[in-house]
Amino acid sequence: MNAAAPTTPRVLLRTLREVLAAQMGAQARLDRVSQLVAQSMVAEVCSIYVLRTDNLLELSATIGLNANAVHNTVLAVGEGLVGTVARNASPLNLVDAPSHPSFAYRPETGEDPFKSFLGVPILRGGRPRGVIVVQNQTMRQYGEEDMEALETVAMVLAEMLAATEFMEMRAAHGGGQRPDLPASFSGDILAPGAALGVAVLHEPRVRVSKLIAENIDKEIARLDEAVDTMREAIDAIIRVEDPSLAGAPLDVLETYRMFAHDKGWLRRLREAVESGLTAEAAVERVQNETRAKMLRQRDRYLRERYSDLDDLANRLLRHLTGAASATSKLPNNMVLIARHMGPADLLDYDRSRIVALVLETGTASSHVAIVARALDIPTVAGIDDIEDQVEPGDVIIVDAEQGEVHIRPQADITRAFSAKMELSSERRARFAAARNLPPETADGTRISLMMNAGLLFDLPHLEETAADGIGLFRTELQFMVAQQFPRLGAQATLYKQVLDTAAPRTVTFRTLDLGGDKILPYGQVADEENPAMGWRALRIALDRPALLRYQIRAMLLAAAGTDLRIMFPMVAEVEEFRQARDLVDRQIEWHLRHGHEMPRSLSVGCMLEVPSLAWQLDALMPLVDFLSVGTNDLVQFLFAADRMNPRVADRYDFLSPAVLSFLSQIAEKANIHGVPLTVCGEAAGRPLEALAMIGVGVRTLSMPAASIAPVKLMVRGLHLGELEPFVGQLLEGGEHSVRPALQDYAEKSGILL
Whether residue 155 contacts residue 147, with contact meaning beta carbons closer than 8 Å, is answered with no
Cα–Cα distance, 554 to 548 (Å, whole number): 10
C-alpha torsion angle, residues 571, 574, 579, 581 (rounded to 10):
80
Report DSSP letters for 4-71, one per residue: -----HHHHHHHHHHHHHS---HHHHHHHHHHHHHHHTT-SEEEEEEE-TTSEEEEEEEESS-GGGTT
The dihedral through the CA atoms of 629, 630, 631, 634 has a sign that is negative
The dihedral through the CA atoms of 670, 671, 672, 675 has a sign that is positive
Element (H, E) at 407: strand 404-407
* 725 CB burial (10 A radius; 0-12, 13-18, 19+): exposed
Q: Classify residue 466 as left (phi > 0), alpha (psi -120 to 50) or beta.
A: left
Nearest of 337, 28, 284, 2 to residue 143 by alpha carbon: 2
606 assigned to active site: no
Report the alpha-carbon angle 142-126-320, nearest 5.
95
Cα–Cα distance, 699 to 678 (Å, whole number): 7
Catalytic choice (46, 319, 406, 680): 680
Cα–Cα distance, 627 to 133 (Å, whole number): 60
Cα–Cα distance, 429 to 418 (Å, whole number): 17
- The three-class DSSP label of residue 297 is coil
User: What DSSP state is assigned to residue 334?
Assistant: E
Catalytic choice (340, 367, 406, 461): 367
Those residues with Cβ within 8 angstroms of residue 705's Cβ, 6 or more apart along the chain or in another chain: 451, 452, 453, 458, 461, 462, 464, 465, 467
367 assigned to active site: yes
Whether residue 714 contacts residue 693, with contact meaning beta carbons closer than 8 Å, is answered with no
* 120 CB burial (10 A radius; 0-12, 13-18, 19+): buried
Cα–Cα distance, 509 to 555 (Å, whole number): 9
Cα–Cα distance, 729 to 319 (Å, whole number): 67
Q: What number of residues does the chain have?
A: 753
- Other beta carbons within 10 Å of 2: 11
* 580 CB burial (10 A radius; 0-12, 13-18, 19+): buried
User: What DSSP state is assigned to residue 367?
Assistant: H
Cα–Cα distance, 119 to 181 (Å, whole number): 36
Those residues with Cβ within 8 angstroms of residue 159's Cβ, 6 or more apart along the chain or in another chain: 124, 207
Q: How far is CA 374 from CA 217, 307, 343, 460, 649, in A?
A: 44, 20, 11, 10, 29
User: What DSSP state is assigned to residue 323?
Assistant: P
The dihedral through the CA atoms of 244, 248, 252, 258 has a sign that is positive
Cα–Cα distance, 488 to 490 (Å, whole number): 6
Alpha carbons within 13 angstroms on the beta-carbon side of residue 525 total 15
Q: Report, as residue numbers or ranges, the catalytic residues.
A: 367, 680
